[in-house]
Structure 1
Amino acid sequence: MEAAAPLLGVEDGDYAPVKTFRELKDMVWSETVKTWAISGPVIFQIVCQYGTNSVTNIFVGQLGEIELSGVSIAISVIATFAFGFMFGMGSATETLCGQAFGAGQIHMLGVYMQRSWIIMFICALIITPIYVFATPILKLLGQQDDVAELAGSFSLLILPQLFSFVVAFPTQKFLQAQSKVWTLAWIGFGALMIHVLMLWLFIFQFGWGTTGAALALNISGWGISIAQCIYVMGWCRDAWHGFSWLAFRDLWGFVKLSFSSAIMFCLEIWYMSTIIILAGHLPNAVISVDSLSICMNLDGWENIIFIGINVAMSVRVSNELGKARPRAAEYSVYVTVVESLLLGLLFMVAIFFAKDHFAVIFTSSVTVQKYVAKLAYLLGITMVLNSVQPVISGVAIGAGWQALVAYINLGCYYIFGLPLGIILGYVANFGVKGLWGGMIAGIAMQTIMLLIVLYKTNWNKEVAETSGRLQKWTGQDNKIKEET
């Protein structure tokens, strides 16, 4: 941190223009430390979060194939859909809390969090029928009856977990905006350890089967939510001033920003999930789906790293814009984009070198292993593109561009990439390679468009818009606070 001191302006703390190699080196090091100080704990937290679902499947898998299939589908289809939408809705809190914290309006963070609680509770009520009617929904999607019925019953049992998202996600964004990410990491780790213990007790010792697995998920979800709230209310007294009626003000504007965030996030999640569904209708469906699932599994682990960087980028950009430091926001973006690209290229090279071997971890089928090796080149390209795209999405959240990125995602993914993939896969008979190639084309177009948006961004204008947004959202509240 001290190495960056010569670059800092005296008056406002913003970076001075970089003119020498030494200044560039100091700035890059400073931004690298700041970014990874946030992204490291977030990555650890996400690993724990993914681990909760993974160990649940492992324990349930000991009960039987039908139990494993039913629980896996309930978690990967029903719960993941709800998770994605609710997580996206919480991103509005990330934008506003980050910018308010940077601007020194720390007292508003608790109000924003409460507004998000209200909106997300209503969203949870709207999503509830998906859990209640999961069985007919899954049958409609082509699942066999016994699996769909078990998945539907399990989905109904984990309904309380859905409502834990209402509390957990806004609270996470509240803490992330203040860079209090290690707290979230340790809460996530503790929850994972307790979750494993509960699964062992409920399934094997008490004999509760899938009901025990559902109970463990519910307790873990609410345990995380309650632990985060206890920390907020006990150790964040500068940002938490108790429950306030101000949380009910300007709800419609908050809803619009939240919905834009959810659409932006969900369009990205659903896009890559679609390729597996489409692959299931190809002539060699079993081999295609198996090999594609292996590749997507590895891509998912890479995504965990870049989701952490996404959060760090959102925090850095929103904080710096709130502090009226345009050059710091700009430098942070470009340093992180370049470093993420280099990291993505490293992953691509590793995949290319291991293309004939890494599938052995997942399957003993020689046929699937050979097919995975043929898809490795597409996986490597996807990893490079997925290294840059989450960074820019984090910038979008930090700067409040969610609506713009949602439109870009819709056009690039669903109007261009998906139809192209269908044409290449089904009409041109390229199979899964064609499907995936079309998807890659959509991601490439989205990445290029977002890079153009970044290149044309006037960061001084972004600071002004951030100031205007904060005045709009906090002007009346500040006046009330001063009067009281």
Structure 2
Amino acid sequence: MASAVQTVCGQAYGAKKYAAMGIICQRAIVLHIGASVILTFLYWYSDTVLQAIGQSASIAEQGQVFARGLIPQLYAFAISCPMQRFLQAQNIVNPLAYISVGVFLLHILLSWLAVDVLGYGLLGASLTLSLSWWILTILNGLYIVLSPSCKETWTGLSTKALKGIWPYFKITAASAVMLCLEIWYNQGLVLISGLLPNAAIALDSISICMNYWNWDINFVLGFSAAASVRVSNELGAGHPKLTKFSVIVVNATSIFISTVFTAIVIICRSLLIKAFSTDAEVIQAGSSLIPLLAISIFLNGIQPILSGVAIGSGWQHIVAYVNLTTYYIIGLPIGCVLGFKIGLGVEGIWWGMVVGVLLQTITLIILTARTNWDLEVINPQ
């Protein structure tokens, strides 16, 4: 949902409509808090939900304990995420980084105290996460209110945030659908792998590889955010040529870095699996997934960047349809057929993901390449 703030605030900043940015941020927070109220019920009754999707009663029970401890975090997200996008849209990133590093170090200490010293287990771990996110939220809020950097874009609380909710809700909903379809697809692969024969080996191997994939995607998401901010700023400022140039530069940089990461994965291969497991079967199964992991990491150098371009341009509704088609209508069935019917197991499931991401990437490349940026400047979101 917060990616809508990147679109609207980014374009408003480019157009020098600074006062509107604070209103947009507040409007987003109102909608996010409403969504958090709904999600609270899902978290509170997560035991029932987890059992309904096939998890054992013991796992579902522990999952519910952890989820309930994360409920305060939902509301921290609701406030913090719009504020972060509000600051990013103004190219204020260093303070966010410093605050995040500080809270991260504090979080490590608090987690150690809650879990190891006080012995509060899963509930302690989740409540610590919630506390850390609230500290991060408060610090970000204080920076916005007190920093001279935001004196033009933050003019205080206003009832104007309650006006124009519906038009903004539509782009927010499209943003949520776009990103949720993508995130759920990747996370769902792990759940589906648990239904395979010899599920323990399958889950161990895919979890290790997905862990490396997550490290890479978190790195690349920084480029995605940069692409989103730069594109939205230039569109708002009415600079079509600079917008196009920004798209080319950020994609070229990301592809180069992802190529290096891909080479590292291929060269290290089994060492990456051995770093997490000494079981011979897990090492063998994980090593067989390394080529697919390498392909996925290379695609990470293109797909998230183009998604960032889409967010900056306000194309979330289009990409939502693309994600639904390529991931769920094409990629997921292919993965299930290869994994369960053909007997390729976890490799087949991952191949389905690769096919889905590849098709999505090709579609986004075509969409971006055919874009008339002069028209985008005339009709920004």
- The answer to which of 406-415 and 185-194 deviates more is 185-194
Aligned to 1:453: 367
Q: 1:433 aligns with which of 326, 331, 347?
A: 347
- Establish whether residue 152 from structure 1 lines up as the match of residue 84 from structure 2: no
CA deviation after TM superposition for structure 1 residue 240, in Å = 0.6
The one-letter code sitting in structure 2 at the alignment partner of 1:282 is: L
Question: Is residue 228–residue 309 contact of structure 2 (8 Å, CA) maintained in 1?
Answer: yes
Aligned to 2:263: 349
**Equivalent residues in 2 for 1:394-473, closer than 5 Å:** 394-466=308-380, 469=381
CA deviation after TM superposition for structure 1 residue 215, in Å = 3.2
The one-letter code sitting in structure 2 at the alignment partner of 1:371 is: A
Change (3 A) 1:171 1:146: same
The one-letter code sitting in structure 2 at the alignment partner of 1:411 is: T
CA RMSD, Structure 1 to Structure 2 (Å): 1.4
Change (3 A) 1:342 1:205: closer
- Establish whether residue 126 from structure 1 lines up as the match of residue 38 from structure 2: yes
CA deviation after TM superposition for structure 1 residue 209, in Å = 4.3
Aligned to 1:380: 294
CA deviation after TM superposition for structure 1 residue 200, in Å = 3.3
CA distance in 2, matches of 1:334, 1:208: 50
CA deviation after TM superposition for structure 1 residue 144, in Å = 2.9
Aligned to 1:26: none
- Establish whether residue 169 from structure 1 lines up as the match of residue 81 from structure 2: yes
The one-letter code sitting in structure 2 at the alignment partner of 1:284 is: N
- Establish whether residue 115 from structure 1 lines up as the match of residue 27 from structure 2: yes
CA deviation after TM superposition for structure 1 residue 197, in Å = 2.3
Aligned to 1:138: 50
CA distance in 2, matches of 1:301, 1:206: 30
CA deviation after TM superposition for structure 1 residue 205, in Å = 4.4
CA deviation after TM superposition for structure 1 residue 386, in Å = 1.6
The one-letter code sitting in structure 1 at the alignment partner of 2:92 is: K
Q: 2:196 aligns with which of 282, 285, 296?
A: 282
Change (3 A) 1:456 1:209: closer
Question: Is residue 291–residue 371 contact of structure 1 (8 Å, CA) maintained in 2?
Answer: yes
CA distance in 2, matches of 1:278, 1:448: 26
- The answer to which of 149-158 and 298-307 deviates more is 149-158
Aligned to 1:182: 94
- Establish whether residue 273 from structure 1 lines up as the match of residue 187 from structure 2: yes
Change (3 A) 1:219 1:102: same
Aligned to 1:477: none
CA deviation after TM superposition for structure 1 residue 425, in Å = 1.6
Aligned to 1:295: 209
CA distance in 1, matches of 2:48, 2:352: 31
Aligned to 1:202: 114
Aligned to 1:8: none
CA distance in 2, matches of 1:150, 1:357: 32
Question: Is residue 161–residue 217 contact of structure 1 (8 Å, CA) maintained in 2?
Answer: yes
Q: 1:232 aligns with which of 111, 135, 144?
A: 144
The one-letter code sitting in structure 2 at the alignment partner of 1:290 is: D
Question: Is residue 355–residue 376 contact of structure 1 (8 Å, CA) maintained in 2?
Answer: yes
How many matched pairs?
A: 379
CA deviation after TM superposition for structure 1 residue 276, in Å = 1.6
Aligned to 1:340: 254
CA distance in 2, matches of 1:184, 1:422: 41
- The answer to which of 270-279 and 171-180 deviates more is 270-279
**Equivalent residues in 2 for 1:311-322, closer than 5 Å:** 311-322=225-236
CA deviation after TM superposition for structure 1 residue 327, in Å = 0.6
- The answer to which of 227-236 and 186-195 deviates more is 186-195
CA deviation after TM superposition for structure 1 residue 206, in Å = 4.4
Which sections of structure 2, spanning at least 5 residues, go unmatched?
none
Question: Is residue 310–residue 319 contact of structure 2 (8 Å, CA) maintained in 1?
Answer: yes
The one-letter code sitting in structure 2 at the alignment partner of 1:224 is: L
- 1:87-111 CA-to-partner distances (Å, cap 9, x unmatched) read xx11111100000001111111100
Aligned to 2:281: 367
CA distance in 2, matches of 1:209, 1:295: 26
Question: Is residue 102–residue 320 contact of structure 1 (8 Å, CA) maintained in 2?
Answer: yes
The list of structure 1 runs, each at least 4 consecutive aligned residues, that deviate by more than 6 angstroms after superposition, is none
TM-score by length of 1: 0.76
CA deviation after TM superposition for structure 1 residue 283, in Å = 1.9
Rg: which structure is higher? Answer: 1
- The answer to which of 176-185 and 195-204 deviates more is 195-204
CA distance in 1, matches of 2:227, 2:74: 27
Aligned to 2:303: 389
- 1:213-253 CA-to-partner distances (Å, cap 9, x unmatched) read 33322221111111111110111111111111110111001
- 1:60-118 CA-to-partner distances (Å, cap 9, x unmatched) read xxxxxxxxxxxxxxxxxxxxxxxxxxxxx111111000000011111111000000011
CA deviation after TM superposition for structure 1 residue 344, in Å = 1.9
Q: 1:331 aligns with which of 225, 236, 245?
A: 245
CA distance in 1, matches of 2:69, 2:294: 39
- Secondary structure of 2:18's aligned partner: coil
TM-score by length of 2: 0.96
The one-letter code sitting in structure 1 at the alignment partner of 2:285 is: Y
Change (3 A) 1:355 1:250: same
Question: Is residue 355–residue 372 contact of structure 1 (8 Å, CA) maintained in 2?
Answer: no
Question: Is residue 320–residue 326 contact of structure 1 (8 Å, CA) maintained in 2?
Answer: yes
The one-letter code sitting in structure 1 at the alignment partner of 2:293 is: L
CA deviation after TM superposition for structure 1 residue 347, in Å = 1.6
CA deviation after TM superposition for structure 1 residue 427, in Å = 1.8
Question: Is residue 306–residue 390 contact of structure 1 (8 Å, CA) maintained in 2?
Answer: yes
Question: Is residue 65–residue 123 contact of structure 2 (8 Å, CA) maintained in 1?
Answer: no
CA deviation after TM superposition for structure 1 residue 162, in Å = 0.8
Change (3 A) 1:217 1:386: same
- Secondary structure of 1:426's aligned partner: helix
Aligned to 1:14: none
The one-letter code sitting in structure 2 at the alignment partner of 1:129 is: F
